[in-house]
Amino acid sequence: MEDRMTLTRRRVLALTAGFAAVPALQLLSGVAHAAAEDTTKLIADFTGGKEPQSGKIKLTAPEIAENGNTVPVSVSVDSKMADGDMVQSVMLVAEGNPRPEVVTFHFTALSGAAAATTRMRLAKTQSVIALAKMADGSVYMDKKEVKVTIGGCGG
């Protein structure tokens, strides 16, 4: 009984080694995820120490990312973008990536709307965080978990 189990486990290792030999997602080779301190510091630097509130900012990301190399994400902040109701910047953070920073959008009175869409890389299943810093210094936050799948014989 034990021999058969061991044999099967060896076969599994041999077979899975085959998958490992497949050129992995770029970010998966030797990936470590962002140290929690890196993420905390990145966010603190952006917020200036202010506690992020929920509301106003909406982060849109797929539930399941077909490939971690290209994940479409959108942010939108409920703001008039006029008369003192202004968004200064929005920052995206990937807490499970080797490095947490992704992109920081800067808006102006000419932006019309505090909204942007881009495509990002996710090394593995993790939460993506969006932070909006308003002109009056207040900070809002939204967070979405994105499952990053591993393909079969992607080639």
Partner 1 sequence: MNRNSVLAAAFVGLALATGGVTSAFADPVDDKLVIDGVEMTTKTKAPEGHPFDEVLSGWLFREAETRATEADSFANPGMLAVERGAEIWNAVDGTAGKSCASCHNDAAETMKGIGANYPKWDEASKKPINIELQIDKCRTENMGAEAYKFDAPDQVALATYIKHQSLGVPVKLDLAAGDMQSWWDKGKETYYTRTGQLNFACASCHEASMGKYIRADHLSQGQANGFPTYRFNTGGMVSLHNRFRGCIRDTRAEFPKAFSDELMALEVYVTWRGTGLSVETPAVRQ
Partner 2 sequence: MAATPKPRVKVPKTAKAGEVIVLKTLISHEMESGQRKDKEGKVIPRKIINKFTCELNGQLVFSADIDPAISANPYLEFSARVPESGTFKFTWVDDDGSIYTDEQKIEVR
Residues in contact with partner 1 by the rule CB under 8 A: 5-6, 8-9, 11-12, 15-16, 18, 21-23, 25-26, 62, 64-67, 69-72, 149-155
Based on CB atoms, which residue is closest to partner 1, 55 or 154?
Answer: 154
CB of 95 to partner 2, least distance (A): 11
For residue 108, give the amino acid letter.
Answer: T
Based on CB atoms, which residue is closest to partner 1, 38 or 115?
Answer: 115
Residues with Cβ within 8 Å of residue 37, at least 6 apart in sequence: none
Select from partner 2, partner 1, none the partner in contact with residue 111, using the beta carbon and a kind-dependent cut-off of 5 to 8 Å: partner 2
| Interaction between residue 150 and partner 2 (CB under 8 A) | no
CA 91, CA 113: separation in Å to the nearest integer? Answer: 16
CA 91, CA 132: separation in Å to the nearest integer? Answer: 7
Hey, is 10 helix, strand or coil?
A: helix
User: How many CB atoms neighbour CB 123 within 10 A?
Assistant: 22
CA 4, CA 103: separation in Å to the nearest integer? Answer: 51
Select from partner 2, partner 1, none the partner in contact with residue 150, using the beta carbon and a kind-dependent cut-off of 5 to 8 Å: partner 1
| Interaction between residue 121 and partner 2 (CB under 8 A) | yes
